[in-house]
C-alpha cells in the first residue's frame, strides 16, 4: 500500500515516439514571437530522446504565461495556482517515485510569490526538474516588473522606475543548497536540449534558469548577450574539468584571485594555466556561487551551462527507505493491532 | 510528576484517561532498566490511555535553583512545586495562594523559599510557553456496553481513523502539514506508523502542507492536511483549487480560540462559517464534525469516504477539547467500517466525432456527479487539469459564460446531493418534547448532561447533534419543524444557528459562551429550562449576550 | 486600432467611455511629435475618459507575417485583422465567421491570407493571454444633472477615492499589493501620483501586501491593500490579525469569476460570504460595496471613514465589471466629503493604583467602542500589541476565559454598532409596491433597468440597493417586512439572500445567474414579473436553478 | 502629508537611559536557562549606548518563543503572526523612516513559513535590523525539527530521523543579496552587543544569526563550538582587513586556493601571508559566501562576526526620494485638480 501501483514500466518496453506524440491537441496561445515557443519546441523534441513514457511524465505549473506550458504537452499535467507548483510537486514526487516530474514556472511565479516553496524544494532535494522561464517581467498580468527586473525599470507599476535589487536566481538557488543548477536561453535550442537532458538525468531537485524573451512587455531583455552576433563574446560556456574561457578565439577567461575574488581576464595576460577550471561536482557550492556573481546582469559576459551537479540523498527515496525499514522491522501495518497498541481492557 | 519507577508503580492504579506529568529528564536507559522497562513507555504507546505531559523537570528546576543559589540537593525538592505550577496552569488555577503558602512555610529558609517560588512560576509559565493544552476532556465512564475498550485522545483517534481509512481504500496515506497547537499531535502520531506506508511531510508552511497533500491526491494517494487557527486561513486558496480540480482531499481543522493567534491553548467552535464560506467564489465542500474524542475515528473515516466517493475536498472539524481529551472507546469491529473504493479510471470514456476514443476528465457519474479520478501512470488517460474554468466534459479551459454557470451549479449540486448519502438526523426524543436542543462538535457531552438534568426534573426535551454540517441531513428541515423551540448551544457567537436560520427559516435560539471551555451542565440546564418556561423572548433571540458590550457576561 | 496621428484626429469625435485600442509600438517620441503631442497621451491621463487597451500591434503582427512568410509591407495590412481578433475577444464573439471570410477574400494570395488569419487569431489569443478584461460597463448617459463631468472607470475612481480620503484625513497613503487581474490598475493609477505622498509597494505576494499595509497602519498611515480572486484568500490570516489589533486597514477586493483561478477576465459577485466569514474564529469586520464605476470613489471614502473611526479593517467590494467599466461622473464638491479624523492618542489614559499615569491601548470609546490609535513616536505611549487575546483595557496578553468572552463580544458589538452610523436603507418605491427587488454591487444598473421596464408596464415595484453589507442599515429588517415578496438578484448562487434570511427570517427569493456578465434588463424584468404574477413557488425559492444539475440553464 | 509628523527627534535631546528604562513590566516567561534571556539582556544593555529613543524604537516579531521578545521591551512593539514580521516591518519602515525597527524571529518563523518575506526584505534592503534566534528547533510547538536542524534529527515529528538538508541562514541571506550579514551566539554578551551595534549602525536590511540554546527541546546544540572551553579552537572571529586566523595562539587560519576552494589550515604550513584577508566591504558577496560554507555545522570551526557590510540604496529612502522629486516637479498634490486631470465636460 506504499505506492500507487499502476505504472506499467516493467511490463512493456518504452515505445518510440516523435515530437508529435508529446504535443497536446490544444492550440498554443502565447503571443507570436514569444520565447516560450522555442522552449516548448526544445522540450517536445527532447522527450523522444529521453526514453521516457508519456503516461509516466507529469508537467506541473503555477500561474503565468510560462505556466500554460502543461496544456501543450500530451502528458499528465496540472496548471495549479500561483507560486505553489513546487509544493504540489513535492507531494506528488514523494508518493510517486515512478514518475518523471517537471515544474514549469516564471520569474514571478517562482521567485516572487513562490520563493519559499522553491528554496525548500531545493533544500529537500525533491526529485523534480524545475524550468524557470526568466523574462524579467510579469507577462500574464500585462507588464509589471518582477523580482529579476533590473533596478530603475519603468513598468506599469513603476512609472518612476523600480527600486529593488533583483534576485540572481542561481545565487539564490545555490544559497538554498540546490544540488543541480544550470542556465540556458531561448535562442539556442541545442543548448537548451542539452541542459534539460542533464537536469532530467540528475536525481533530486534540478534547477534550470532559462533566459526567455517576452517580446511584448520586455522585448530584447537578453539581446545583448544571446543575440547571434554577441554570443561568442558575451556567453561564457561552462564545461566540467575545462579551464573557463570564451570569446571567438577563446581569448578571454576567468581567474580566481588569492583574495577570494573571481574575475574575467585576457588569457594572454595571465596565461592559460592561471585560468579557473570548472568543477560541477565540488561538494561546496562556493565556486558555483562565485561564478553566478561573475555577471551583474544580461549585459556583461555571462556563464551558461551547468554550474553545479552534486548528488545528495533524494527526499522521496529517503522517505521510502524509512517506510521499508519500518515494515521490515515490524511487518506490514495491522489496523486491528494498532487499535490495541495501547493498554486495552474488557467490559463484559 | 513521575520518574520511571514511580510510573511503573502507580500507572495501574490510575484511572484511564488521567493526566500524567512525566519528568522526561529521568527517562534515560539507566532509570528505565532500573524500573524494569524494556522499551521506553513514553514512545511505545503503552501510555496512550493517559494524557501525558512530558516535561524536562530536572533540567529546569536545577536551573531555577541555581539562579536562586540553593544546593543541588534542595533542588530536588523544588521539583514538586514546579509540577504544582504546571498543574495550576493546566487547570487554570491562580498560583498566588500557593505562593503565599510557600512564603510562610519556608520563611526560615529564604533560599529554599526563593527556589520553590521560582519553580512554581516556572511550572506555570512552562505551560504557557510550551503551549500545553488546558483542561482535558473527561466523560465519566457511564455504564459501558460489553466490549474491548481503550482510552484515546481525539487526536490519536483521528490519526488511527486516517490509517484505517487508508487501509479500507487501499490508498497510500500522505499527510502534508505544518506544526501548530493543538493539531501537531496528529502529525506526531502518524509519523510513528511508517509500517502502514504512511508518509508524513512537515512542510515549510500550511500552504505547502495542503499543496503537497493535493499533489499526492493527484498522484492517487489519500491526501490529508491538518491544522488549526491561523493555519486554516492559509489553506483557503488551495482548497479552492481542490474544489475546481475535484480531487479527494481531507482538511482537518482542530479548532482553537480565535481570532488571530487568539487563545492557542483553549478550545472554540468558531471556524464553522469559515469552513462553509472561507474561499473566494462559489466553492462548496462537505463538512463533517466529530463530537467526542473517540468519535474522531469514525468521523475521519466518514470524511475520507465522502472525499473519495465524490472527488472533493472535505473539511473535518475537531477542536482542542476533543483533540487532547480522552475517553474510553469501545473498539469497533473493522468489518463494520464502510467500504471505500477509489475506483480509479482505467479506460477512455468518450468517443470523438471521428470515432477515436479519448479520456475526458470531467465526464460525471450521473448518480454522484463525481468525475473520474485518473492518477498518472495509465497510458491513454493523459490529461491536463487546472484552476481555470473547465468545459463540462472535456475539461479543457473554457471561458464562455453558460458553461461556467453550468459548472458552477454542477459543483454545487454534487455537494448538495450528498444529503441523500448520509444518515437522517438522529434525534433523542421521548416523544412530546416541545424543545429541541441541537448542537455539533465537542459540546455533545455538555448538552447531553444538560438535557439529562432537565429530564430528571420531569421536563420533556429532545436532543440532536449534527455530524454532517454541509450538506445537512435531508430530513433536518422537517425535524426542526416538529419543535416549538429550537435551542442551539455553541462555543462561538451562533454560527450553526445562522446556518439553520438561513436554510430553514426557523427562529432558532442561539445560546453561546466563548470562554475557551465547553459548557457546564448547570448552565446548559438553565438555558433549557428558560426555553421551556418560555422566558426567552429577547429581540436578539440570543441568550447570554443581552448586553451588547458583553460586559454583562461577567 | 490607433497610432498617435489617428488618435489625435479621432479622439474628439469618440463618445466618452468608448473603448480605444492603441498600438503602443507606434508611440515613440517621433510619432508623438509628428502628431503634435507634447506629452504621451497614454500616460498623461488625458485618455482617462476612455477604456484604453495598449497593445504592441506592430511587433506582434510583423512576427506573425514573418512566420507566414509575407513581405513586411503586407504585414501592415494584417494589423487590422489583429485588432478585429482582439475586439472579438473583448466582446466574446467567435472568430470563425471572420476567418472564413478571410479565406475567401484572400483565396488568391495564400501568403497574405495566412498572415491575416494568424493575425486574427493572435489578436483573439492576446486578449486571453494578457488577461484583457472583457465587456466593459456602459450606462447610456441618461439625462445628466448640470455639473462638471468626467468619465471614469471603477478602478480609477477607487484610486482617486483613496487619494481623496488620505487628504481628508491627513494620513499618508500606503498601498501594499500584488498584481492581479482585474485589480492591478488601481496599483498602476496610484503609482502615478507620488506628489500626493502616495507610497505604492509591489509586494512579493498578497500576504506581504496586506502585511505591509498593516505595518504602515501601525505606523499611522492609511494602509490599503487591493486584490482579487485567489488573492483575497491569502489575506485572511492578516485580516484576522488586524481585527485583533483593531487597527484601521482597507482591503479592496475586485471580484472576478471563481472558484480558484476561475474566469480571471469575467465578473462575479461571489466573494460576499467569504468577506463576511472568511477568517477563523469570531472575526467580524465592516463590508462596503460599490454599485457603479463612479460610485467607487464615494465607496472608497466611506470605507476609509469607517476604518479610521472604528479602528478596524474594512473590506470594500468591487468587481471586474465596475473596475473596467466607465460612466460619466458628475464631479463631487470636495467640501461635501465627510471629515475623517485620525484622532491619534496623545497622552496617558489610565491611572495605576499607585497613581502613575499610563497608556492602555485597549481602553475603548464608550460611544464607538473604538480603541486609541497610538503610532510610534510619542513618548509615554509605548505599548505592545499582538494577535494573542488581550486583557480588556490594558491590552496585555490574557488567557482567562471570561475576558476572552468579553473581548469577543466587544469586537462584535463594535462592528454591529456601526449600523447606527450609516444612512438608512434607500428605497425607490412608488408607494404600494408589493415586490421589493434588493441587490448590491454592480448589478445596480441591470436591476434598475429591469425595474423601469416592469414599471413601464404599469406594475408597482420597489428597488433598494445595499452599499453597507455588514452591518446592514438599522432599518433594513423593517423595510423588508413591508413587502410581500423580496427578490434578490445576484451574480452568484444567492449569497446576500442567505444573509438576509439568516438575519431577518424573510423568505427571500434568490434570482441568480453566473455567466461572467451582469444581468440583461429583459431577464431581470421577466424575473420581476414572475414574482408579481406569483408564479414562483419553487420549493427552493430559487429562480433559474430549478434543475439541480444546472443543465436546465442552457 | 508624506510622513506622520509626531516624532519629536529635533525637539528634545535624547535622554540618558539605563537597562531598566528599556525593560517592560511584563514578567519574562521563557524557560529558566533559555538562551533567549541572555540575548534579551544584551539588547536591553545595548540600547542605552545607542543614543536612541524608546518612543522611536519598535520591536516586531512573528510567532514563537523568540517572538515573545517585544513584550519584554519597553518600546513600541508588535507580536504579529507566524513568519510575516518582515512584511509588516517593510510597510512600517517605508512609511516611518524616522523609526528604529528591529525584527526578532526564530529559525522556523523566518526560514520556514517566513522564508519568502525574509529574502525579499533583504533583497529590497528595507531599513530594519533582523535578529534570528537560531536554536535549530521549533520551541513553542514543543520540539519539532526546523529548517536549520541537522539531518537525521530525531524529534516529535521525525521519530525515525529527519531527512532534510538544513539551510545555512547566512548562505541563504547572501544568496538573497543581503547587504549586512553577521553571526553571533548567546554565550558571549560582549560579542552579541558589538554585533548588534554594527547591525543597527548599518543603513538598510541587517541580518544577524544568533546561535541560541533551547535547553528544553534542543539542549547543547552549539555546545561544541560556543562552550567556554571550545571557543578559541572552534570559533573563527572575522575582523575586517585582518588575515583570518584563530586558535589559542592563532595557530590556524583560512586560505583561498586557486581552484576556488576555501579551507582551514595550520598557519605554520602555509605562512601568514598566504592567509585570506577578511574584507567586509567587497562588492561581490562571493567571498562572504565562501566563508559561510567553511563550517558544515556547529561541530566544525565556525566563523562569527560580520561577514558582509556593504551599502546599497535603502528602499524607504529611495521611495521618499521619488515622492520628493515628484512633488518638486509637480507641486504638492491637489485633489480637485486630480479629478479634472482627464478630459472633463460640462452639462448645464
Ligand atoms: C494568488 C495569485 N496572485 C496573483 C495572480 C496574478 N498573476 C498571475 S501570473 C502573475 C505573474 C506572472 O509573471 P511570471 O511568473 O514571471 O510569468 P510570465 O507571465 O512572465 O511567464 C501574477 C501576478 C494570481 N493568478 N494568483
Ligand atoms: C500560521 C501559523 N502556523 C503555525 C503556527 C504554530 N507555530 C508557532 S511558533 C512555530 C515555530 C516556532 O519555531 P521558531 O520560529 O524556531 O521559534 P522558537 O519557538 O524556536 O523560538 C509554529 C510552528 C502558528 N502560530 N501560526
Ligand atoms: S506576454 Fe510575453 S511572455 Fe506572455 S505570451 Fe506574450 S510574449 Fe510571451
Ligand atoms: S522552549 Fe526552548 S526556546 Fe522556548 S523558552 Fe523554552 S528553552 Fe527557550
Ligand atoms: Mg515572467
Ligand atoms: Mg527555533
DSSP string, D64-105: SSGGGGGGGBSSEEEE--TT-HHHHHHHHHHH-TTSEEEEEE
Q: Could you give the ipTM of this predicted complex?
A: 0.93
Residues forming beta bridges with residue C489, ordered by sequence position: C511
Buried b (16+ CB within 10 A) or exposed e, D226-260: beeeebeebbbbbeeeebbbbbeeeebbbbbeeeb
Quick one: which H or E segment has residue C289?
A: strand C287-289
d(CA C283, CA B378): 46
SS3 B225: strand
Q: Does A262 sit in the ligand 3 pocket, CB within 6 Å?
A: no
SS3 B307: helix
Interval C51-65: pLDDT, tens: 677 787 777 888 877
pLDDT of residue B140: 53
Interval C176-213: pLDDT, tens: 999 999 999 999 999 999 999 999 999 999 999 999 99
Closest CA to C389 of C496, C518, C245: C245
Q: How confident is the model over C398-415, as a mean pLDDT?
A: 97
Distances (CA, A) of A204 to A170, A210, A322, B171: 17, 19, 17, 25
Q: Do residues C506 and C500 make contact, with C-beta atoms less than 8 angstroms apart?
A: yes
What spatial distance separates the first Cα and last Cα of chain C, rounded to whole Å? 35
> Is A174 an 8 Å CB contact of chain D?
yes
Residues forming beta bridges with residue D180, ordered by sequence position: D206, D309
Q: Does D108 sit in the ligand 2 pocket, CB within 6 Å?
A: yes
- Residue C245, class by beta-carbon neighbours within 10 Å (0-12 exposed, 13-18 middle, 19+ buried)? buried
User: Is the pLDDT higher at C549 or at B58?
Assistant: B58
Which chain B residue lies closest to D33 (C-alpha atoms)?
A: B63
| Closest residue to atom 6 of ligand 3, CA basis | A31
Q: Do residues B519 and B442 make contact, with C-beta atoms less than 8 angstroms apart?
A: no
Interval D242-258: pLDDT, tens: 999 999 999 999 999 99
Ligand 4 centroid – CA D159 distance (Å):
21
**Would you call B377 and A6 a contact, using CB atoms and an 8 Å cutoff?**
yes
Question: D: neighbours with 3+ CB pairs under 8 Å?
Answer: A, B, C
Q: Does B231 sit in the ligand 2 pocket, CB within 6 Å?
A: yes
Lowest mean pLDDT among B304-308, C84-88, D21-25: C84-88
Q: Does A31 sit in the ligand 3 pocket, CB within 6 Å?
A: yes
Read off the C-alpha cell for C463.
428597488
Angle at D75 between CA D73 and CA D81, to 5 degrees: 75
**Whether pLDDT at B552 is above 60:** no
Q: Does C540 sit in the ligand 3 pocket, CB within 6 Å?
A: no
**Would you call A340 and B331 a contact, using CB atoms and an 8 Å cutoff?**
yes
Within 10 angstroms of residue A337's Cβ, the number of other Cβ atoms is 10
Question: C: neighbours with 3+ CB pairs under 8 Å?
Answer: A, B, D
d(CA B185, CA B152): 12
Closest CA to A273 of A246, A245, A302: A245
DSSP string, A269-297: HH-GGGSPBP-TT-SSTHHHHHHHTS-SS
Closest CA to D189 of D37, D29, D297: D37
Interface of A with C (CB under 8 A): 27, 29-33, 63, 65, 68, 79, 81-83, 112-113, 115, 138-142, 144-145, 147, 156-160, 215-216, 219
Interval C449-473: pLDDT, tens: 999 999 999 999 999 999 999 999 9
The mean predicted confidence, pLDDT, of chain A is: 95
pLDDT of residue C12: 65
The alpha carbon of B139 is separated from its chain's Cα centroid by a whole number of angstroms, namely 17
Interval A253-301: pLDDT, tens: 999 999 999 999 999 999 999 999 999 999 999 999 999 999 999 999 9
Find the residues whose C-beta lies inside 6 A of ligand 4: B 129-130; D 30-31, 34, 36, 65, 135, 139, 214-217
Q: Does A36 sit in the ligand 3 pocket, CB within 6 Å?
A: yes
pLDDT of residue C133: 66
Lowest mean pLDDT among A308-312, C113-117, C148-152: C113-117
Nearest ligand 2 atom, CA B231: 1
Lowest mean pLDDT among A102-116, B75-89, B531-545, C506-520: B531-545
Mutate to test the interface with A, among B156, B164, B218 (most CBs of A within 10 A): B218
Dihedral angle, C-alpha D180, D184, D186, D190, nearest 10 °: -100
Quick one: which H or E segment has residue A59?
A: strand A57-61
pLDDT of residue B537: 40
Q: Helix B72-90 vs helix B57-68: angle between axes, to the nearest 10 degrees?
A: 120
d(CA D207, CA D204): 10
Angle at C160 between CA C156 and CA C161, to 5 degrees: 115
Q: Do residues C418 and C310 make contact, with C-beta atoms less than 8 angstroms apart?
A: yes
**Whether pLDDT at B276 is above 90:** yes
Cis upstream peptide for B259 (omega within 30°): yes
Nearest ligand 3 atom, CA A29: 5
Residues forming beta bridges with residue B2, ordered by sequence position: B22
Q: Does A290 sit in the ligand 1 pocket, CB within 6 Å?
A: no
Ligand 4 centroid – CA B416 distance (Å):
48
> Is B44 an 8 Å CB contact of chain D?
no
Q: What band does D280 get if pLDDT is binned at 50, 70 and 90?
A: very high
Task: Indicate the top mutation candidate among B231, B234, B257, B259 to test ligand 2's pocket, ranked by most ligand atoms within 8 A of CB.
Answer: B231
**Whether pLDDT at B547 is above 50:** no
> Is B262 an 8 Å CB contact of chain C?
yes
pLDDT of residue A7: 44
Ligand 5 centroid – CA B263 distance (Å):
42
**Whether pLDDT at C532 is above 60:** yes
Q: What is the 3-state secondary structure (H, E, C) of B8-74?
A: HHHHHHCCCCCEEEEEHHHCCHHHHHHHCCCCCCCCCCCCCCCEEEEECHHHHHHHHHHHHCCCHHH
d(CA C94, CA C84): 11
d(CA A65, CA A109): 10
Q: Do residues D145 and B202 make contact, with C-beta atoms less than 8 angstroms apart?
A: yes
d(CA C134, CA C128): 9
- Residue D343, class by beta-carbon neighbours within 10 Å (0-12 exposed, 13-18 middle, 19+ buried)? middle
d(CA B379, CA A8): 9
Least CB-CB distance to D167: which of A163, A176, A258?
Answer: A176
Q: Do residues A110 and A299 make contact, with C-beta atoms less than 8 angstroms apart?
A: no
DSSP string, C302-350: HHHHHHHHHT-EEEEEEEHHHHH-EEEEE---GGGSPP-------S--E
pLDDT of residue B536: 44
Ligand 3 centroid – CA B330 distance (Å):
62
**Would you call A158 and C202 a contact, using CB atoms and an 8 Å cutoff?**
yes
**What DSSP state is assigned to residue C371?**
P
**Would you call D262 and A262 a contact, using CB atoms and an 8 Å cutoff?**
no
Least CB-CB distance to C122: which of A32, A79, A82?
Answer: A32
**Whether pLDDT at C71 is above 80:** no
Ligand 4 centroid – CA D30 distance (Å):
6
The alpha carbon of D75 is separated from its chain's Cα centroid by a whole number of angstroms, namely 19
**Whether pLDDT at C534 is above 80:** no
- pTM value is 0.91
d(CA C438, CA C461): 11
Least CB-CB distance to C413: which of B266, B507, B549?
Answer: B549
**Would you call B281 and C262 a contact, using CB atoms and an 8 Å cutoff?**
yes
Ligand 3 centroid – CA B434 distance (Å):
67
Q: What band does C49 get if pLDDT is binned at 50, 70 and 90?
A: low
Amino acid at each position: 500500500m506504499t505506492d500507487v501501483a499502476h505504472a506499467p514500466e516493467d511490463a512493456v518496453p518504452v515505445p518510440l515516439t516523435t515530437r508529435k506524440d508529446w504535443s497536446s491537441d490544444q492550440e498554443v496561445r502565447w503571443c507570436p514571437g514569444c520565447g516560450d515557443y522555442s522552449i516548448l519546441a526544445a522540450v517536445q523534441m527532447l522527450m523522444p530522446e529521453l526514453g521516457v513514457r508519456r503516461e509516466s511524465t507529469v508537467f506541473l505549473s503555477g500561474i503565468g504565461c510560462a505556466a500554460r506550458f502543461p496544456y501543450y504537452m500530451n502528458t499528465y499535467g496540472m496548471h495549479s495556482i500561483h507560486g505553489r507548483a513546487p509544493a504540489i510537486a513535492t507531494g506528488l514526487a514523494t508518493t510517486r517515485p515512478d514518475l518523471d516530474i517537471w515544474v514549469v514556472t516564471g520569474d514571478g511565479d517562482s521567485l516572487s510569490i513562490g520563493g519559499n516553496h522553491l528554496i525548500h524544494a531545493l533544500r529537500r532535494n525533491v526529485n523534480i526538474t524545475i524550468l524557470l522561464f526568466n523574462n524579467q517581467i510579469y507577462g500574464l498580468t500585462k507588464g509589471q516588473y518582477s523580482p529579476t527586473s533590473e533596478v530603475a525599470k519603468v513598468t506599469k507599476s513603476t512609472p518612476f522606475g523600480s527600486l529593488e535589487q533583483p534576485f540572481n536566481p542561481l545565487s539564490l538557488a545555490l544559497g538554498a543548497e540546490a544540488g543541480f543548477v544550470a542556465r540556458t536561453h531561448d535562442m539556442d535550442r541545442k543548448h537548451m536540449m542539452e541542459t534539460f537532458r542533464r537536469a532530467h538525468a540528475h536525481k533530486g531537485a534540478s534547477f534550470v534558469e532559462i533566459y526567455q524573451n517576452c517580446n511584448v512587455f520586455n522585448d530584447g531583455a537578453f539581446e545583448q548577450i544571446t543575440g547571434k552576433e554577441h554570443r561568442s563574446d558575451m556567453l561564457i560556456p561552462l564545461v566540467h574539468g575545462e579551464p573557463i574561457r570564451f570569446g571567438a578565439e577563446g581569448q578571454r577567461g576567468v581567474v580566481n584571485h588569492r583574495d577570494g575574488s573571481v574575475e574575467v581576464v585576457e588569457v594572454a595576460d595571465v596565461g592559460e594555466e592561471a585560468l579557473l577550471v570548472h568543477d560541477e561536482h565540488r561538494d561546496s557550492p562556493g565556486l558555483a556561487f562565485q561564478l553566478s556573481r561573475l555577471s551583474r546582469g544580461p549585459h556583461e559576459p555571462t556563464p551558461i551551462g551547468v554550474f553545479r551537479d552534486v548528488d545528495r540523498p533524494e527526499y522521496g527515496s529517503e522517505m521510502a527507505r524509512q517506510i521499508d525499514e519500518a515494515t521490515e522491522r515490524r511487518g506490514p501495518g495491522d489496523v486491528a493491532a494498532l487499535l490495541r497498541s495501547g493498554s486495552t481492557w474488557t467490559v463484559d | 510528576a513521575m520518574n520511571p519507577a514511580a510510573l511503573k508503580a502507580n500507572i495501574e492504579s490510575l484511572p484511564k484517561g488521567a493526566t500524567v506529568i512525566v519528568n522526561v529528564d529521568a527517562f534515560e536507559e539507566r532509570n528505565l532498566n532500573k524500573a524494569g522497562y524494556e522499551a521506553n513507555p513514553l514512545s511505545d504507546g503503552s501510555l496512550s490511555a493517559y494524557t501525558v505531559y512530558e516535561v524536562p523537570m530536572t533540567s529546569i528546576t536545577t536551573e531555577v535553583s541555581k539562579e536562586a543559589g540553593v544546593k543541588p540537593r534542595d533542588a530536588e525538592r523544588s521539583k514538586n512545586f514546579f509540577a504544582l505550577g504546571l498543574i495550576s496552569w493546566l487547570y487554570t488555577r491562580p498560583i498566588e495562594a500557593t505562593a503565599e503558602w510557600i512564603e510562610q512555610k519556608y520563611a526560615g529558609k529564604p533560599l529554599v523559599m526563593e527556589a520553590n517560588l521560582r519553580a512554581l512560576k516556572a511550572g506555570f509559565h512552562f505551560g504557557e510557553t510550551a503551549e500545553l493544552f488546558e483542561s482535558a476532556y473527561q466523560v465519566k465512564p457511564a455504564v459501558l456496553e460489553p466490549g474491548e475498550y481503550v482510552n484515546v485522545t481525539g487526536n490519536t483517534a483521528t490519526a488511527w481513523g486516517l490509517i484505517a481509512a487508508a487501509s479500507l481504500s487501499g490508498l497510500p496515506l500522505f499527510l502534508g502539514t505544518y506544526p501548530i497547537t493543538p493539531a501537531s499531535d496528529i502529525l506526531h502520531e502518524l509519523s510513528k506508523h511508517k509500517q502502514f506506508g504512511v508518509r508524513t511531510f512537515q512542510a515549510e508552511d500550511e500552504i505547502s502542507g495542503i499543496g503537497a497533500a493535493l499533489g499526492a491526491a493527484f498522484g492517487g494517494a489519500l491526501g490529508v492536511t491538518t491544522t488549526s487557527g491561523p493555519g486554516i486561513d492559509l489553506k483557503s486558496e488551495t482548497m479552492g483549487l481542490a474544489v475546481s480540480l475535484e480531487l479527494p482531499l481531507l482538511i482537518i481543522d482542530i479548532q482553537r480560540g480565535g481570532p488571530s493567534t487568539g487563545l492557542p491553548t483553549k478550545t472554540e467552535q468558531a471556524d464553522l462559517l469559515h469552513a462553509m464560506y472561507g474561499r473566494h467564489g462559489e466553492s462548496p465542500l462537505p463538512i463533517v464534525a466529530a463530537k467526542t474524542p473517540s468519535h474522531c475515528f469514525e468521523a475521519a473515516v466518514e470524511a475520507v469516504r465522502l472525499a473519495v466517493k465524490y472527488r472533493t475536498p472535505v473539511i473535518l472539524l475537531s477542536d482542542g477539547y476533543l483533540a487532547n481529551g480522552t475517553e474510553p472507546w469501545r473498539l469497533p469491529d473493522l468489518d463494520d467500517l464502510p467500504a471505500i473504493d477509489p475506483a480509479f479510471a482505467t479506460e477512455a470514456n468518450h468517443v470523438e466525432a471521428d470515432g477515436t476514443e479519448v479520456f475526458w476528465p470531467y465526464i460525471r457519474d450521473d448518480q454522484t456527479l463525481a468525475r473520474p479520478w485518473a492518477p498518472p501512470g495509465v497510458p491513454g488517460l493523459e490529461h491536463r487539469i487546472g484552476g481555470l474554468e473547465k468545459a463540462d466534459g472535456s475539461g479543457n479551459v473554457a471561458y464562455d459564460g453558460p458553461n461556467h454557470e453550468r459548472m458552477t451549479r454542477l459543483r454545487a449540486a454534487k455537494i448538495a446531493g450528498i444529503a441523500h448519502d448520509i444518515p437522517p438526523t438522529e434525534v433523542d426524543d421521548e416523544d412530546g418534547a416541545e424543545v429541541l436542543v441541537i448542537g455539533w462538535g465537542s459540546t455533545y457531552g455538555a448538552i447531553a448532561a444538560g438535557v439529562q438534568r432537565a429530564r430528571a426534573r420531569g421536563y420533556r426535551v429532545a436532543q440532536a447533534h449534527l455530524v454532517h454540517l454541509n450538506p445537512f441531513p435531508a430530513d433536518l428541515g422537517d425535524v426542526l419543524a416538529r419543535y416549538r423551540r429550537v435551542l442551539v448551544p455553541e462555543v462561538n457567537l451562533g454560527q450553526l444557528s445562522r446556518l439553520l436560520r438561513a436554510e430553514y427559516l426557523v427562529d432558532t435560539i442561539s445560546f453561546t459562551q466563548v470562554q475557551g471551555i465547553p459548557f457546564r451542565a448547570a448552565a446548559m440546564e438553565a438555558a433549557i429550562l428558560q426555553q421551556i418556561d418560555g422566558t426567552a423572548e429577547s429581540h436578539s433571540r440570543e441568550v447570554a449576550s443581552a448586553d451588547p458590550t458583553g460586559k454583562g457576561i461577567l
